[in-house]
């Protein structure tokens, strides 16, 4: 079985960056603000210990809780504009569901990698 990423560490780094990116999308931060943050998110999750990664995910979970507290209507309509991929008319809840499914998919990847390593 071939993994999506070559290591558990890189998989977790990808998951963290994806979650941060979509949290900002859900918070309706303009693309320019999001794109400026991406290199920092990558750097934060690179070459760190398991405990440090756990801390990043715990911080992200708290940020999502705060965002959900500030979002009374999780079914609100949203339009996402991307300079390369175009426009997407969707709902807050659909994006949130996508984030959860993405994390589930990659946790499965990590489980497979760890099983392969014994």
**Higher per-residue confidence, 87 vs 1:** 87
Tell me the per-residue pLDDT of 13-62, one tens digit each, with 9 for 90 and over. 999 999 999 999 999 999 999 999 999 999 999 999 999 999 999 999 99
Side-chain half-sphere exposure of 1, counting CA atoms within 13 A? 13
- 2, pLDDT greater than 70: no
- For residue 42, what are the domain limits? 8-116
- Asked if 87 and 79 touch (Cβ cutoff 8 Å), the reply is yes
Sign of the alpha-carbon dihedral angle for 97, 32, 47, 66: negative
Residue 1 resides in a domain: no
Would 2 be classed as within a structural domain?
A: no
Q: Does 95 map to a domain?
A: yes
Residue 3 in domain: no
**C-alpha 55, offset from chain centre:** 15
pLDDT tens-digit profile of 3-27? 678 889 999 999 999 999 999 999 9
The count of structural domains within the chain is: 1
């Amino acid at each position: 079985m071939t993994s999506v990423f070559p290591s558990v560490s890189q998989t977790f780094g990808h998951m963290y960056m994806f979650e941060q990116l979509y949290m900002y999308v859900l918070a309706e931060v303009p693309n320019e603000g999001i794109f400026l943050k991406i290199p920092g998110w990558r750097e934060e999750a690179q070459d760190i210990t398991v405990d440090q990664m756990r801390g990043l995910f715990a911080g992200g979970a708290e940020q999502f809780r705060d965002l959900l507290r500030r979002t009374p209507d999780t079914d609100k309509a949203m339009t996402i504009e991307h300079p390369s991929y175009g426009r997407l008319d969707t709902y807050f809840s659909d994006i949130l569901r996508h984030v959860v499914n993405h994390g589930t998919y990659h946790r499965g990847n990590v489980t497979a990698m760890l099983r392969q390593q014994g």
